[in-house]
Amino acid sequence: MVGGIQVTPQQTNQQMPQQATPDTAQDQARDVAQQPAGSQLLETGRRELLRTMILIRTFEEAILRDYHADKSPAFDIGAGLIPGEMHLSAGQEPVAAGVCAHLTSDDAVTATHRPHHLAIAHGMDLRRLAAEIFGRETGLGHGRGGHMHLFDPDTHFSCSGIIAEGYPPALGQAFAFRTRGSDAVAVAVTGEGAANQGGFHESLNLAALWHLPVVFVVEDNDWGISVPRSASTSVASNAARGAGYGIPAVRVEDNAVEDIHRAAGEAVARARAGGGPSLIEVHTLRLWGHFEGDAQAYRSDLEGVPGHDPIPTYESHLVDQGVLGESDLEVMHASAHERVEDAIGFARSSPTPDPADALKYVFSEGERR
Amino acid sequence: MTTASHETAQRTTEPTRAPLPVEPDPGTRRLSTAKAMVEAIAQQMRSNEEVFVLGEDVGAYGGIFSSTTGLLDEFGPDRVRDTPISETAFIGLATGAAVEGMRPIVELMFVDFFGVCMDQIYNHMAKIHFESGGNVTVPMVLTTATGGGYSDGAQHSQCLWGTFAHLPGMKVVVPATPYDAKGLMTAAVRCDDPVVYMFHKGVMGLPWMAKNPRSVGPVPEEEYEVPIGKAKVVREGTDLTIVTVSLSLHHSLDVAEKLAGEGIDAEVIDLRTIVPLDREAIAASVSKTKRLLVVDEDYQSFGLSGEVIASVVEREPTALTAVERVCTPDVPIPYAHDLEYAVLPTRDRIEAAVRRLAGAK
C-alpha cells in the first residue's frame, strides 16, 4: 500500500490491523509527502497540522489533570472541579487537525460525545469551551450543556451524546447553506460504533439523494467502549458502506494526519463544488479510556498503545524532514500551554451558574444572550 | 487552520416579525380544518422564504391527511420536499436547518411513528436551545396526525400528546377547529421554539372519514395568530367544567348542547395548547363550577388528564367537589369497530360522566 488510503471495498473481513509501528507510519507519511500530486501540503500547512494537534493534546492534558485533581482517593464521578463523564480524544487529534484544516468558521461540524479535538480544531473559543466543561456561567451553554453538549453558533459547531444522531442535523445545516447559495459545507463525525446505527445509514442515503454538501467522517478507534470493532461491524472498512449509497468513500489507515488531510481536502472540495457528500473512515487510536475512570481491563492492545501516539510520531517525522527543529517544537508546546492555561484559568475563576436560574433556557422568550 | 475560503453564508430574509392580529373576528368564510392549516402554511411561506415543508407524501399527494394540499403547485419541489421513509434523517435535517435559522415545517405522518425518530425529537430538537444556554434557537414546526376512530389499529390511532408534553423543550399545540388550526399554525411557524403541531384526523374535515360538522368553520382570510399557551372557554356554563382538546372538544360540545336542554349548564374549555398549559384558565373555571370533567383521547394514566386535575388541586385545593375523567383507558387501541368505540371517549361516555357530575353534591 502506498500512502495510507485504501479505496473500498475492502477484500478482507478481518479485524483491521492495529496501529502501524512509528517507522511504518513515518515511511507512509514520507511516501505521501514525496508525491508531488499527493497531499499538496506546504511546510506551513504541515506545521499547522502539528500545531493544532499539540494544542488539542495540551488542552486535554489540562482537563485530565483538573478532572482527577479532586476525585481521589475514592473516585466519585460526580464530584470535583469537573464533574460527570469525561470522554477525552487523545490519539484522535490527527482526524480533527486533518479535516478541520479545510474548514472556515462558516462551515458546520457536528461531533460526538468525544468532541474536544474537533471543537478546538474548528476554532472554538478555548475559554468558553473550558468554562462549559467546568460547568461555569461563562461557558458556551452557561453550564447547561457540559462537555458532550457543546453548541457554538460562531463556528456552527455542535455535538451530540447520542451515537450517530449528530449526523442528521448536519444534513440540515448543509441544506441551509446550499439553499442560501453559500458554498459552506457540513462535516458530520461519528465513531465506528455509530456506523451500525440507523441514523448513520439514513443520513448517508438522504445526503446522497439530495446531493447535500456533507462530509461524513468515521473515527474508527477500534473500540465501542469495550466492544472491539471485530465484534460490532460486519465489514472490514466502513468506507465499503459508501458504495451502498453511491457516495465516494475512502478509509485512511494508520492515523496518518497528512493522509487524512488529503482525503478531507478532496471531500470538502467536492462538497463545496456541488459534488455531494463523501465518506471518510480514519483508522485512529483511542489513546486513553472510553471515559476517565475506565480501567480498560478489556483492552488487549493496551500495552503497545503509547508507542502509536500520533503526536510524537508526527513531531519526529517533521523534524526528520527538516520542516521544523527541536526549538520550534518547544515554542509550539509553550504557546499551546500558555493558551490552554489561560482558558483553564478563565474557567476556574468564572462563576458557577445561579441555582435560581435552573429553569432558564427551556424556551427562547427573552433568554437570548 | 483556514486553508479554504468561500462566500459567507447570508440569510436571504429575516423572519417576519411584524405583529399579526391576534384572534380576530372569524368572519363568515368557511374552511375545513385541513384547508385552514394549509392556508396558514402557504401565507407564511409567501412572507418568509426560510419557511419550507418536508415529510413523507407532502408533495404531489398533498399529505395523507391533506395537511399540505396544493403547496407543491405553488412553491415547487425545492420548498415542498417529499422525503424518503427515513424520519430520523429528515426530522434531524429539519432540526439542523432550524439551527441555521431556517423555519422548517416537518411532518411525521402518524404520531405513532415517533418510535423510529424520537431521539432527534426529544434529545435534539427539544434540547439544543437549553443545552446551548439560549445561544441557539430551533424555530421549527413538527406536524403530526393523531387519533383514532376509523379502525386503523393500535399503531395508527394514538394521540400521544401527553408523551411529547412530558418532555421539556417542545411546545405542543392541539387545534380542534379550523380557526385555531390556522392561527396556531401561523403562531407556530413564527415561534422561535420547536412546536409540535398535532392534528387529529377527525377534525380535519376529510371527505373520506366520518366528521363532525365542527371540522368546517369560519376562518379569516388574513394572517393572524392564536397565541400558543392560551386556552379558550368555548362554551360558558355554571354547573361543571369540561376541559378537553382536539376531537374530544367536538364531542364535548355536542353533549353540552344536548344537555343544556335538560338544564345542565356545562362550561367547556378547549386547551388548544398543551405546552405551555394554561393552568390558570382551568383553575379559574373550576373555582366557579366546582366540578370538573376532563375528556382526553390520549391514554388515561400518567398524562394530560391527571395533569389538568393536579393543576386545579394545586391552585384551589378545596374548590373541587367532584371530578371525573373520560379518556382512553390504558389499553392499545383495538381494531374492531365496536372494541375501538368501547375505549374512545365517545359522546355516550361523556354524557354519562356529565350527568353524574351534575348530580353530584
Mean pLDDT of the A107-128 span: 98
Q: Hey, is the C-beta of A177 within 8 angstroms of any chain B C-beta?
A: yes
Asked about B6 being catalytic, the answer comes back as: no
- Is B232-359 the same fold as B30-218? yes
Q: What are phi and psi of B322, to 5 degrees?
A: -160, 145
Mean pLDDT of the B198-221 span: 96
Q: Are strands A278-283 and A249-252 parallel, antiparallel or unpaired?
A: parallel
pLDDT value at residue A90: 97
pLDDT value at residue A301: 83
Domain membership flag for residue A16 = no
On the CB side of A355, CA atoms within 13 Å amount to 0
The CA distance from B107 to the nearest CA of chain A, in Å, is: 15
Question: Which of A175, A197, A205 to mutate to probe the B interface, most B CBs <10 Å?
Answer: A175
The span from the CA of A40 to the CA of A258, in Å, is: 9
Residues of B in contact with A368 (CB under 8 A): 134-135, 137
CB within 8 Å of B233: residues ≥ 6 apart: B267, B268, B269, B281, B285
Using the beta-carbon criterion (under 8 Å), do A140 and B133 form an inter-chain contact? yes
Q: Which of B6, B131, B169 sits opposite A184 (nearest CB)?
A: B6
Find the helix or strand (DSSP H, E) in which A207 lies. helix A198-209
Given a cut of 90, is residue A367 above it in pLDDT? no
Which of these, B53, B85, B95, lies nearest to A202 by C-alpha position? Answer: B85
Compute CA B190 distance to the chain's CA centroid, rounded to the nearest angstrom: 16
Using the beta-carbon criterion (under 8 Å), do B1 and A165 form an inter-chain contact? no
Residues of B in contact with A156 (CB under 8 A): 100
Q: Grid cell 412546536 — which residue?
A: B195
Number of folded domains that form chain A: 1
Domain hosting A197: range is 58-70+84-245+267-294+336-351
Q: How far apart are the first and last CA of chain B?
A: 76
Question: Which of A202, A205, A268, A360 to mutate to probe the B interface, most B CBs <10 Å?
Answer: A202
Buried b (16+ CB within 10 A) or exposed e, B49-65: bbbbbbbbbbbeebbbb
Domain membership flag for residue A33 = no
3-class SS at B174? coil
Cell numbers of B101, please? 435559522
Using the beta-carbon criterion (under 8 Å), do B88 and A363 form an inter-chain contact? no
The span from the CA of A247 to the CA of A215, in Å, is: 10
Mean pLDDT, chain A, as a whole number?
A: 90
Mean pLDDT, chain B, as a whole number?
A: 95
The pLDDT-based confidence of B9 (bands split at 50, 70, 90) is very low
DSSP string, B186-199: HHHHH-SS-EEEEE
| CATH number for A159 | 3.40.50.970
Q: Packing angle between helix B87-99 and helix A167-179, nearest 10 degrees? A: 50
* ipTM computed for the complex: 0.94
The span from the CA of B31 to the CA of B51, in Å, is: 23
The answer to whether the beta carbons of residues B293 and B241 sit under 8 Å apart is yes
Compute CA B105 distance to the chain's CA centroid, rounded to the nearest angstrom: 14
Using the beta-carbon criterion (under 8 Å), do A145 and B133 form an inter-chain contact? yes
Mean pLDDT of the A44-49 span: 96
- What is the per-residue pLDDT across B139-181, written as a single tens digit (0 to 9) for each? 999 999 999 999 999 999 999 999 999 999 999 999 999 999 9
Task: Provide the residue ranges of all domains of chain B, joining segments of one domain with +.
Answer: 30-218, 232-359
CB within 8 Å of A138: residues ≥ 6 apart: A127, A128, A131, A346, A347, A350, A351
Which of A:64-123 have CB within 8 Å of B? 97, 100-104, 106, 108, 110, 121-123
Q: How far apart are the first and last CA of chain A?
A: 52
The CA distance from B170 to the nearest CA of chain A, in Å, is: 8
Which of A:278-317 have CB within 8 Å of B? none
Using the beta-carbon criterion (under 8 Å), do B6 and A183 form an inter-chain contact? yes
pLDDT value at residue A40: 63
Using the beta-carbon criterion (under 8 Å), do A360 and B134 form an inter-chain contact? yes
The span from the CA of B98 to the CA of B51, in Å, is: 10
Active-site pick, B6, B124, B129, B156: B156
The answer to whether the beta carbons of residues B90 and B96 sit under 8 Å apart is no
Using the beta-carbon criterion (under 8 Å), do B93 and A171 form an inter-chain contact? yes
DSSP string, B244-256: E-THHHHHHHHHH
- Residue A70 buriedness (CB in 10 A; 0-12 / 13-18 / 19+): exposed
The answer to whether the beta carbons of residues A77 and A83 sit under 8 Å apart is yes
Is pLDDT larger for residue A334 or for residue B8? A334
Find the helix or strand (DSSP H, E) in which A349 lies. helix A326-349
Given a cut of 90, is residue A39 above it in pLDDT? no
Closest CA in chain B for residue A144: B131
CB within 8 Å of A44: residues ≥ 6 apart: none
Q: Which of A101, A170, A360 sits opposite B96 (nearest CB)?
A: A170
Q: Are strands B171-173 and B232-235 parallel, antiparallel or unpaired?
A: unpaired
Find the helix or strand (DSSP H, E) in which B234 lies. strand B232-235
Q: What is the 3-state secondary structure (H, E, C) of B255-292?
A: HHHHHHCCCCCEEEEECCEEECCCHHHHHHHHHHHCEE
3-class SS at A86? coil
The pLDDT-based confidence of A5 (bands split at 50, 70, 90) is low
Residues of A in contact with B104 (CB under 8 A): 172
Cβ contacts below 8 Å, chain A against chain B, sum to 198
Q: Which of A141, A199, A205 sits opposite B132 (nearest CB)?
A: A141
The CA distance from A134 to the nearest CA of chain B, in Å, is: 14
Using the beta-carbon criterion (under 8 Å), do A174 and B96 form an inter-chain contact? yes
Mean pLDDT of the A341-349 span: 98
Q: Hey, is the C-beta of A168 within 8 angstroms of any chain B C-beta?
A: yes
Cis peptide before A73 (omega within 30 of 0): yes
- Kindly state the DSSP code that residue B332 receives in the 8-state scheme: P
The span from the CA of A251 to the CA of A239, in Å, is: 6
Closest CA in chain A for residue B167: A362
Given a cut of 70, is residue B117 above it in pLDDT? yes
The CA distance from B55 to the nearest CA of chain A, in Å, is: 12
Given a cut of 60, is residue A307 above it in pLDDT? yes
**Alpha helices by DSSP H, B105-151:** 118, 128-131
The span from the CA of B106 to the CA of B52, in Å, is: 8
CB within 8 Å of B250: residues ≥ 6 apart: B176, B202, B203, B212, B214, B215
- pTM of the full predicted structure? 0.92
Given a cut of 50, is residue B4 above it in pLDDT? no
For residue B218, the cross-strand partners are: B30
The span from the CA of B190 to the CA of A288, in Å, is: 46
The pLDDT-based confidence of A6 (bands split at 50, 70, 90) is low
- What is the per-residue pLDDT across A214-253, written as a single tens digit (0 to 9) for each? 999 999 999 999 999 999 999 999 999 999 999 999 999 9
DSSP string, A235-302: SS-GGGGGGGGT--EEEE-TT-HHHHHHHHHHHHHHHHTT---EEEEEE----S-SSTT---TT-TTG
CATH number assigned to the domain with residue range B30-218, chosen from the 4 options 3.40.718.10, 3.30.300.30, 3.40.50.970, 3.40.50.1110: 3.40.50.970
Mean pLDDT of the A174-195 span: 98
Using the beta-carbon criterion (under 8 Å), do B3 and A149 form an inter-chain contact? no
Residues of B in contact with A362 (CB under 8 A): 129-130, 168-169
The CA distance from A19 to the nearest CA of chain B, in Å, is: 26
pLDDT value at residue B214: 96
- What is the per-residue pLDDT across A20-32, written as a single tens digit (0 to 9) for each? 343 444 444 434 4
The span from the CA of B15 to the CA of A171, in Å, is: 22
Q: Hey, is the C-beta of A273 within 8 angstroms of any chain B C-beta?
A: no
- What is the per-residue pLDDT across B120-143, written as a single tens digit (0 to 9) for each? 999 999 999 999 999 999 999 999
Domain B232-359 has CATH 1.10.287.130: no
Q: Which of B4, B89, B95 sits opposite A268 (nearest CB)?
A: B4
CB within 8 Å of A334: residues ≥ 6 apart: none
Domain membership flag for residue A202 = yes
What does the angle CA B164 – CA A86 – CA A336 come to, to the nearest 5 degrees? 125
